[in-house]
Amino acid sequence: MHSLGRQIVAEFYHCEEACLADSDYIAAVMQGAAEVAGATIVTQTFHEFSPHGVSGVVVIAESHLSIHTWPEHGYAAVDLFTCGEAVSPELAFEHLKICLKAGQVSTMELRRGQLEMMTADAPPEPMAADATVTPLRRIGSAQA
């Protein structure tokens, strides 16, 4: 399957609390993840929350790397989205696993922009402007 991009959605558990609470450290390891992956850094921004937690993104020419931390739970949610063949989200993931001192990880990989869907001989008809869209039902919701 050929795609425009690959996205690794990762969850890091049992991380060292001090690492996850330090916005300068998180910025440095995220920048390092982009570098070891072979990405071209465009810009980055990070925010430290009170009383704890850090959110940030490294925008790369090939897409982005983002993180949200919950130091009090030893948890970080990470999104590694890269386009092209030259950048390796797996290398970024391995770098973060070591730097965050994760005791347990969970990942899911998505292929974004599947080229086979874009080159189909007969693309589907677009949805009509007046079509009814049914909202998604929340899991655990009392509504049916």
* pTM (predicted TM-score): 0.78
Catalytic residue selected from 15, 19, 83, 99:
83
CA distances from 49 to 27, 41, 127, 134 (A): 14, 24, 41, 36
Catalytic residue selected from 66, 68, 73, 88:
68
Domain ranges within the chain, ordered by starting residue: 3-113
- The yes-or-no answer on residue 63 being catalytic is yes
| Other CB atoms within 10 Å distance of the CB of residue 44 | 16
pLDDT digits (tens, 9 = 90+) for 36-80: 999 999 999 999 999 999 999 999 999 999 999 999 999 999 999
**What is the per-residue DSSP string for 19-58?**
HHH-HHHHHHHHHHHHHHHT--EEEEEEEE-SSS-EEEEE
Closest C-alpha among 33, 15, 6, 41 to residue 96: 33
Catalytic residue selected from 15, 63, 64, 95:
63
pLDDT digits (tens, 9 = 90+) for 86-106: 999 999 999 999 999 999 999
- The yes-or-no answer on residue 68 being catalytic is yes
CATH of 3-113, one of 3.40.50.10470, 3.20.20.70, 3.40.50.450, 3.60.90.10: 3.60.90.10
Confidence of residue 144 (pLDDT cuts 50, 70, 90): very low
**Are 64 and 112 contacting, i.e. CB atoms less than 8 angstroms apart?**
no
